[in-house]
Chains A and B, each alone.
Chain A
Amino acid sequence: MILTEFVDIALLALLAITGLALLKIRDLVAVVMLGGIYSLLCAGLFLVMDAPDVAITEAAVGVGIATVLLVGALTLIEREERPSQHSRALPLVVVLFTGAMLTYGILDVPPFGEADNPVQEHVTPRYLEEQEEEIGVENVVTAVLASYRGYDTLGETTVIFAAGIGVLLLLSGRKERRAGSEEDAS
Protein backbone atom coordinates (compact mmCIF):
# COMPACT_ATOMS: atom_id res chain seq x y z
CA MET A 1 0.00 0.00 0.00
CA ILE A 2 1.48 3.32 -1.07
CA LEU A 3 -0.83 5.29 1.18
CA THR A 4 0.14 3.51 4.39
CA GLU A 5 3.78 4.21 3.52
CA PHE A 6 2.87 7.84 2.96
CA VAL A 7 1.19 7.90 6.39
CA ASP A 8 4.38 6.41 7.89
CA ILE A 9 6.57 9.05 6.26
CA ALA A 10 4.23 11.88 7.24
CA LEU A 11 4.09 10.72 10.88
CA LEU A 12 7.88 10.32 11.03
CA ALA A 13 8.40 13.79 9.51
CA LEU A 14 6.06 15.33 12.09
CA LEU A 15 7.92 13.37 14.78
CA ALA A 16 11.27 14.81 13.63
CA ILE A 17 9.86 18.36 13.53
CA THR A 18 8.43 17.99 17.04
CA GLY A 19 11.68 16.54 18.36
CA LEU A 20 13.77 19.40 16.93
CA ALA A 21 11.30 21.97 18.29
CA LEU A 22 11.53 20.36 21.75
CA LEU A 23 15.27 21.11 21.69
CA LYS A 24 14.80 24.75 20.71
CA ILE A 25 11.93 25.84 22.96
CA ARG A 26 12.85 27.20 26.39
CA ASP A 27 9.28 27.61 27.71
CA LEU A 28 8.81 24.45 29.80
CA VAL A 29 4.99 24.47 29.58
CA ALA A 30 5.27 24.40 25.79
CA VAL A 31 7.83 21.59 26.11
CA VAL A 32 5.39 19.51 28.18
CA MET A 33 2.64 20.06 25.60
CA LEU A 34 4.88 19.20 22.65
CA GLY A 35 5.97 16.12 24.60
CA GLY A 36 2.31 15.05 24.61
CA ILE A 37 2.14 15.52 20.83
CA TYR A 38 5.39 13.54 20.46
CA SER A 39 3.87 10.66 22.45
CA LEU A 40 0.70 10.70 20.34
CA LEU A 41 2.81 10.52 17.17
CA CYS A 42 4.81 7.60 18.61
CA ALA A 43 1.60 5.81 19.56
CA GLY A 44 0.27 6.33 16.03
CA LEU A 45 3.46 4.85 14.58
CA PHE A 46 3.29 1.83 16.92
CA LEU A 47 -0.27 1.28 15.74
CA VAL A 48 0.76 1.48 12.07
CA MET A 49 3.40 -1.17 12.88
CA ASP A 50 0.65 -3.49 14.24
CA ALA A 51 1.52 -3.19 17.93
CA PRO A 52 -1.77 -2.02 19.46
CA ASP A 53 -0.77 -3.07 23.01
CA VAL A 54 2.38 -0.92 22.90
CA ALA A 55 0.35 1.91 21.38
CA ILE A 56 -2.18 1.74 24.25
CA THR A 57 0.63 1.84 26.81
CA GLU A 58 2.35 4.74 25.05
CA ALA A 59 -0.91 6.70 24.91
CA ALA A 60 -1.81 6.00 28.55
CA VAL A 61 1.67 6.64 29.97
CA GLY A 62 3.09 9.22 27.55
CA VAL A 63 0.03 11.34 26.94
CA GLY A 64 -1.88 10.82 30.18
CA ILE A 65 0.34 10.09 33.18
CA ALA A 66 3.63 11.65 31.98
CA THR A 67 1.96 14.99 31.18
CA VAL A 68 0.32 15.11 34.60
CA LEU A 69 3.60 14.20 36.35
CA LEU A 70 5.59 16.78 34.36
CA VAL A 71 3.02 19.49 35.07
CA GLY A 72 3.24 18.50 38.74
CA ALA A 73 7.01 18.97 38.54
CA LEU A 74 6.49 22.35 36.82
CA THR A 75 4.60 23.66 39.87
CA LEU A 76 7.83 23.19 41.87
CA ILE A 77 10.32 24.83 39.47
CA GLU A 78 10.67 27.91 37.26
CA ARG A 79 8.79 28.17 34.00
CA GLU A 80 11.76 29.03 31.76
CA GLU A 81 14.67 26.74 31.08
CA ARG A 82 18.04 28.45 31.70
CA PRO A 83 20.53 28.27 28.85
CA SER A 84 23.15 25.61 29.48
CA GLN A 85 26.60 26.79 30.61
CA HIS A 86 28.43 23.68 29.48
CA SER A 87 29.98 23.05 26.10
CA ARG A 88 27.72 21.17 23.68
CA ALA A 89 30.49 19.36 21.81
CA LEU A 90 30.69 16.23 24.00
CA PRO A 91 26.92 15.52 24.08
CA LEU A 92 26.78 16.00 20.31
CA VAL A 93 29.59 13.50 19.78
CA VAL A 94 27.92 10.97 22.12
CA VAL A 95 24.55 11.34 20.37
CA LEU A 96 26.07 11.07 16.89
CA PHE A 97 28.08 8.00 17.93
CA THR A 98 25.00 6.29 19.45
CA GLY A 99 22.96 7.14 16.36
CA ALA A 100 25.65 5.73 14.08
CA MET A 101 25.86 2.51 16.11
CA LEU A 102 22.06 2.10 16.08
CA THR A 103 21.94 2.69 12.31
CA TYR A 104 24.75 0.15 11.87
CA GLY A 105 22.74 -2.33 13.97
CA ILE A 106 19.59 -1.77 11.90
CA LEU A 107 21.41 -2.76 8.69
CA ASP A 108 21.43 -6.40 9.88
CA VAL A 109 17.76 -6.48 10.92
CA PRO A 110 15.59 -8.66 8.64
CA PRO A 111 12.85 -6.84 6.65
CA PHE A 112 9.76 -5.80 8.62
CA GLY A 113 6.89 -8.30 8.67
CA GLU A 114 8.44 -11.01 6.44
CA ALA A 115 7.10 -14.54 6.99
CA ASP A 116 10.57 -16.16 7.14
CA ASN A 117 12.04 -13.80 9.76
CA PRO A 118 13.89 -15.56 12.62
CA VAL A 119 11.23 -14.48 15.12
CA GLN A 120 8.54 -16.34 13.13
CA GLU A 121 10.59 -19.55 12.80
CA HIS A 122 11.93 -20.19 16.30
CA VAL A 123 9.15 -21.12 18.74
CA THR A 124 6.18 -19.31 17.19
CA PRO A 125 5.02 -22.24 14.96
CA ARG A 126 5.08 -24.55 17.98
CA TYR A 127 3.01 -22.09 20.02
CA LEU A 128 0.50 -21.79 17.18
CA GLU A 129 0.21 -25.51 16.52
CA GLU A 130 0.53 -27.15 19.92
CA GLN A 131 -1.05 -24.66 22.31
CA GLU A 132 -4.57 -25.97 21.60
CA GLU A 133 -3.56 -29.31 23.17
CA GLU A 134 -0.98 -28.13 25.67
CA ILE A 135 -2.77 -25.11 27.14
CA GLY A 136 -6.24 -25.08 25.64
CA VAL A 137 -6.84 -21.31 25.63
CA GLU A 138 -8.42 -19.86 22.51
CA ASN A 139 -6.26 -16.71 22.50
CA VAL A 140 -2.67 -17.62 21.62
CA VAL A 141 -1.23 -14.40 23.08
CA THR A 142 -2.86 -15.18 26.42
CA ALA A 143 -1.52 -18.74 26.30
CA VAL A 144 2.03 -17.49 25.66
CA LEU A 145 1.91 -14.78 28.33
CA ALA A 146 0.14 -16.68 31.07
CA SER A 147 1.46 -20.21 30.53
CA TYR A 148 4.56 -20.61 28.33
CA ARG A 149 6.07 -17.47 29.85
CA GLY A 150 4.21 -17.79 33.15
CA TYR A 151 7.24 -17.29 35.42
CA ASP A 152 8.33 -14.28 33.36
CA THR A 153 4.89 -12.70 33.78
CA LEU A 154 4.88 -13.57 37.49
CA GLY A 155 8.24 -11.78 37.86
CA GLU A 156 6.96 -8.70 36.02
CA THR A 157 3.86 -8.56 38.17
CA THR A 158 6.00 -8.90 41.32
CA VAL A 159 8.18 -5.96 40.23
CA ILE A 160 5.14 -3.77 39.56
CA PHE A 161 3.56 -4.85 42.86
CA ALA A 162 6.78 -3.99 44.78
CA ALA A 163 7.02 -0.62 43.01
CA GLY A 164 3.38 0.13 43.88
CA ILE A 165 3.97 -0.72 47.55
CA GLY A 166 7.09 1.48 47.56
CA VAL A 167 5.23 4.46 46.11
CA LEU A 168 2.37 4.00 48.59
CA LEU A 169 4.84 3.89 51.51
CA LEU A 170 6.63 7.04 50.28
CA LEU A 171 3.37 8.94 49.82
CA SER A 172 1.89 7.93 53.17
CA GLY A 173 5.12 8.96 54.95
CA ARG A 174 4.96 12.39 53.29
CA LYS A 175 1.36 12.96 54.39
CA GLU A 176 2.17 12.13 58.04
CA ARG A 177 5.14 14.50 58.01
CA ARG A 178 3.07 17.30 56.55
CA ALA A 179 0.38 16.79 59.21
CA GLY A 180 3.10 16.75 61.88
CA SER A 181 4.65 20.02 60.67
CA GLU A 182 1.24 21.70 60.70
CA GLU A 183 0.79 20.69 64.33
CA ASP A 184 4.22 22.17 65.12
CA ALA A 185 3.22 25.43 63.46
CA SER A 186 0.05 25.76 65.51
Chain B
Amino acid sequence: MIVLSTLAILAAMTMAIIRGLRGPTVYDRVLAVNMFGTATVLLIAVLGFLTGRPDFLDLALLYALLSFIGTVALLKYVSYGDLSSSEHPEEEEDTWTW
Protein backbone atom coordinates (compact mmCIF):
# COMPACT_ATOMS: atom_id res chain seq x y z
CA MET B 1 0.00 0.00 0.00
CA ILE B 2 2.77 2.42 0.99
CA VAL B 3 4.81 1.27 -2.02
CA LEU B 4 1.88 2.04 -4.31
CA SER B 5 1.37 5.48 -2.80
CA THR B 6 5.10 6.24 -3.16
CA LEU B 7 4.93 5.42 -6.86
CA ALA B 8 1.74 7.46 -7.27
CA ILE B 9 3.33 10.48 -5.56
CA LEU B 10 6.43 10.21 -7.76
CA ALA B 11 4.19 10.11 -10.84
CA ALA B 12 2.35 13.19 -9.57
CA MET B 13 5.69 14.96 -9.06
CA THR B 14 6.73 14.14 -12.62
CA MET B 15 3.47 15.49 -14.03
CA ALA B 16 3.77 18.66 -11.94
CA ILE B 17 7.29 19.21 -13.30
CA ILE B 18 6.06 18.71 -16.88
CA ARG B 19 3.36 21.32 -16.30
CA GLY B 20 5.93 23.65 -14.74
CA LEU B 21 8.24 23.24 -17.74
CA ARG B 22 5.62 23.70 -20.44
CA GLY B 23 3.65 26.54 -18.87
CA PRO B 24 2.27 28.18 -20.94
CA THR B 25 0.99 30.86 -18.52
CA VAL B 26 2.46 31.95 -15.19
CA TYR B 27 -0.60 30.58 -13.39
CA ASP B 28 0.04 27.06 -14.69
CA ARG B 29 3.57 27.26 -13.32
CA VAL B 30 2.47 28.70 -9.95
CA LEU B 31 0.00 25.85 -9.62
CA ALA B 32 2.68 23.33 -10.63
CA VAL B 33 5.12 24.61 -7.99
CA ASN B 34 2.42 24.61 -5.32
CA MET B 35 1.38 21.08 -6.22
CA PHE B 36 4.99 19.95 -6.26
CA GLY B 37 5.39 21.31 -2.71
CA THR B 38 2.35 19.33 -1.59
CA ALA B 39 3.70 16.19 -3.30
CA THR B 40 7.03 16.65 -1.50
CA VAL B 41 5.24 16.88 1.86
CA LEU B 42 3.39 13.65 1.07
CA LEU B 43 6.56 11.93 -0.15
CA ILE B 44 8.38 12.79 3.09
CA ALA B 45 5.49 11.41 5.15
CA VAL B 46 5.28 8.20 3.09
CA LEU B 47 9.07 7.70 3.08
CA GLY B 48 9.03 7.99 6.87
CA PHE B 49 6.70 5.00 7.11
CA LEU B 50 8.50 3.15 4.31
CA THR B 51 11.83 3.25 6.16
CA GLY B 52 10.14 2.58 9.51
CA ARG B 53 10.91 5.97 11.04
CA PRO B 54 7.75 8.08 11.09
CA ASP B 55 9.50 10.80 13.15
CA PHE B 56 10.12 12.68 9.90
CA LEU B 57 6.44 13.69 10.01
CA ASP B 58 7.43 16.92 11.79
CA LEU B 59 9.52 17.82 8.76
CA ALA B 60 6.55 17.26 6.46
CA LEU B 61 4.55 19.71 8.60
CA LEU B 62 7.37 22.25 8.36
CA TYR B 63 7.46 21.92 4.56
CA ALA B 64 3.71 22.41 4.42
CA LEU B 65 4.13 25.64 6.42
CA LEU B 66 6.98 26.86 4.22
CA SER B 67 5.90 25.98 0.71
CA PHE B 68 3.25 28.67 0.36
CA ILE B 69 5.63 31.61 1.00
CA GLY B 70 7.21 31.51 -2.44
CA THR B 71 3.81 31.05 -4.09
CA VAL B 72 2.42 34.12 -2.31
CA ALA B 73 5.47 36.22 -3.29
CA LEU B 74 5.22 35.12 -6.93
CA LEU B 75 1.50 35.80 -7.16
CA LYS B 76 2.00 39.20 -5.57
CA TYR B 77 4.66 40.01 -8.15
CA VAL B 78 2.49 38.79 -11.04
CA SER B 79 -0.63 40.71 -10.05
CA TYR B 80 0.94 43.87 -8.51
CA GLY B 81 4.36 43.99 -10.22
CA ASP B 82 5.80 44.76 -6.79
CA LEU B 83 6.26 42.99 -3.47
CA SER B 84 5.51 45.79 -1.04
CA SER B 85 2.37 47.40 -2.44
CA SER B 86 -1.12 46.25 -1.50
CA GLU B 87 -3.01 48.41 -4.02
CA HIS B 88 -4.18 46.78 -7.21
CA PRO B 89 -2.82 48.53 -10.32
CA GLU B 90 -5.17 50.43 -12.64
CA GLU B 91 -4.54 48.38 -15.79
CA GLU B 92 -6.06 45.14 -14.63
CA GLU B 93 -6.45 43.54 -18.07
CA ASP B 94 -2.72 43.62 -18.76
CA THR B 95 -1.88 41.28 -15.93
CA TRP B 96 -3.94 38.47 -17.46
CA THR B 97 -1.96 38.37 -20.68
CA TRP B 98 1.09 37.05 -18.79
Query: Could you say which of A47-55, A122-130, A146-154, A161-169 contacts chain B?
Result: A47-55
Question: Which B residues lie within 8 Å of A18 (CB)?
Answer: 17
A40 touches B37 (CB 8 A): yes
A37 touches B17 (CB 8 A): yes
Whole-angstrom CA separation of A7 from B23 in the bound complex? 26
Asked if A43 is at the interface (CB within 8 A of a chain B CB), the reply is yes
Known: A3-B6, A7-B6, A68-B73. A44 touches B66 (CB 8 A): no
A29 touches B47 (CB 8 A): no
> Interface size on A (CB < 8 Å)?
37
| Interface residues as binary, B2-31 with A (CB distance below 8 Å gives 1, 0 otherwise) | 010010001001101100110100100110
Interface extent on B, as a size class? 35 or more
Question: Which B residues lie within 8 Å of A30 (CB)?
Answer: 20, 23, 26, 29
Question: Which B residues lie within 8 Å of A55 (CB)?
Answer: 59
A75 touches B59 (CB 8 A): no
Whole-angstrom CA separation of A17 from B98 in the bound complex? 24
Question: Which B residues lie within 8 Å of A7 (CB)?
Answer: 6, 10, 43, 47
